[in-house]
Chains A and B, each alone.
Chain A
Amino acid sequence: MKSNKFTFWKENIGRSWYKFSRNKLSVIGLALFILLILAAILAPFITPFPKHAGNYVDLILGSQAPDGTHLLGTDIYGRDMFSRIIFALRPALLMGIMVLALVVPIGTILGLIAGYHKGKFSDHIIMRFTDIFLGLPPLILALAVSSILKPTLTNSMIAVSVAFWPWYSRLVYNMVISIKNEHYVISSELLGESKIHILFKEILPNCLSPIFTKMTLDFGWVIIMTASLSFVGLGEQPPDPSLGTMVAEGARLLPDKWWVAIYPAFTIVLMVLSLNLIGDGVRDMFTATEE
């Protein structure tokens, strides 16, 4: 049994990769994203001035234009922008991973339960609760929550998660209410399978592809939202490097010291771009082709 399962997965992965890789842009996006992850992991080794990621001041070297030593220039405290940007990839990527790890299971499980019990008490409770959180634009909700908490990375994570989970329970809910009337679900109900089995083994696998597609795209949104929080000063605080804070600091130095704002801003765009390109590929991967 086990080896069968293994070959099944192997074949599946091969076919998925074929579908994904037909979109060359998605492959470029994936390569770019892997590069960014590697850069973040290896940050202390590949950056010329790892110390500059922290509380380092050298005012003599402040606000230097990009040159050979400081590829992307320095900020007002004389810290190397290139090193800071690479180090800032770490919290950004960490946020994406942590928020999704928190939000997707919670949203999915609530959506599964509510959808399966449509019309019953638990449906009303869960979905009205979801609606309340959907009653505000996500950014405003995240801003509101983080304004009340202390501005740290963990608290921005909580704030962004509060804004994101209801979208998953909504998505899963809408899928479940159509899937639960399929014959295979009804038949396992008649066989007397447990609710856990029905929810997680029969219904959930059929919801996975939209969830995965949404996850790749949301990774980018989480990064944007984190950057937005720190841009207005409600996110991670200096001296920890964060892309949003760097853009906000640089905005005050425009136009002469343009590099302080523009390079971190482009880094955000690059990250989100790579994730969106991957998202397109993931969507293709799950779409049945008519050939």
Chain B
Amino acid sequence: MRTLKFLFRRLALSLIVLFGLSIMIFILGRVVPGDPARMSLGANAPQETVDRMRQQMHLDEPIIVQYWYWFSGIIQGDFGKSLYTKRPVIVDLTEFFPATLELVIFSGLLMGLGGLFLGIVSTKFNNTWVDNIIRIVSYLGVVTPSFVFAIIFLLIFGYLWPIFPTMGRLSRYLSFPPNHTGLLLIDSLIAGEWETFWNGFSHIILPAIALALGGMSQEARITRSSMLDNISKDYILSHRAYGIPEKRIFYKYLLKPSLIPTVTVFGLDFAILFGNAFLVEMVFNWPGLSRYGINVMLQKDLNAISAVIILLGAIFVIMNIVTDLVVSFLDPRIQLAD
């Protein structure tokens, strides 16, 4: 019951945030110098056509009315037309978003599992050379931006020791499997096309690792320090005195409460992956939403920019709610108040 109430409250607050975000984006869009009607028609269009366009785009009306037209369009999934692709933005989104989603999910799995694994190993072998190596590597992982990892991987695994393809989602000679989920790896499994699956897998592995390493390092560090904090607590000692097997103490009584900070950071990092994907997709020519986002930003294509941002904002907000729910499940003492 409390969870439900929390969920309801958070959803309401999130809607306010998204609404505010839409206002902010709208205002930002109007700050841009230049006439949007003129921009969409090109410099050579006659003045009358531009005037008619202005009327069509409701640019003559007060700004609040303009916002209303724009906002009611968004609610119905109508983000207007992209000046860059000359298609409705929503069509672009549905085409490009699955590629980014696949990359980010894959990367998030690597990040979470890898970080957890490294953190646990580091705790188990505390103060040995294994621990030291993991600590140094994860420190470097935290301070290295994902696009630098992307470039280094491109150099090493793309050229010097070319074991993975570095461009796109799938080799040219293969065709995409029938579309069910939009996620290439899952679609190819559904269709039973193993070659396509492996090809897609080999394409996703480099960008996904480049994207995951930063967060993975952070999770490893946090898991380690949180477990080491808890290991000296009295309740662990008393469990030990009761003769509970070490393994059970480690995984059940030590690991579970230690995961709370890890999960909190994971939730945030997962959402941040969508941001860093902007850079990694560019390096690996990944045909996703982020590469699309960069292109429309460079073209100052306002309709498309606002659509990308609102979509990512919605994801970010949802991720935050999910994180809070998981944390409250891990630690019943935390009350879902705010």
Chain A interfacial positions (CB closer than 8 Å to B) = 128-129, 131-140, 143-145, 147-148, 220, 224, 227-228, 231-234, 247, 250-251, 254-255, 258, 261-262, 265, 268-269, 272-273, 276
Contact = CB atoms under 8 A, between A and B. Distances in A.
Q: Could you say which of A129, A147, A254, A273 has the most chain B C-beta atoms within 10 Å of its C-beta?
A: A147
Given A137-B274, A262-B151, A272 B143 contact: yes
Given A139-B278, A232-B278, A254 B143 contact: no
20 contacts: A128-B20, A131-B13, A132-B21, A133-B24, A135-B20, A136-B313, A137-B271, A137-B312, A138-B272, A148-B32, A227-B145, A228-B145, A231-B147, A232-B294, A250-B151, A254-B151, A255-B158, A269-B140, A272-B145, A273-B140
Interface stretch (B48-56, B105-113, B297-305): B297-305
Contacts of B279: 228, 231-232
Nearest to A276: B143
B144 A131 contact: no
Interface residues of B, number: 49
Interface in B280-296: 282-283, 293-294
A135 B313 contact: yes
A290 B303 CA distance: 57
Contacts of A231: 147, 279, 282
Interface of A is mostly: helix
Given A255-B155, A255-B159, A276-B142, 18 more contacts: A133-B24, A135-B21, A136-B312, A137-B316, A138-B272, A139-B278, A140-B309, A143-B297, A144-B309, A147-B300, A228-B278, A233-B298, A234-B297, A234-B298, A247-B151, A254-B151, A265-B152, A272-B143
B298 to A, nearest CB: 6
B143 A273 contact: yes
A109 to B, nearest CB: 21
Contacts of B283: 251
Contacts of B317: 135
B28 A145 contact: yes
A140 B155 contact: no
Interface in B247-272: 271-272
B148 A265 contact: yes
B300 A148 contact: yes
Contacts of B41: none
A269 B143 contact: yes
B1 interface: no
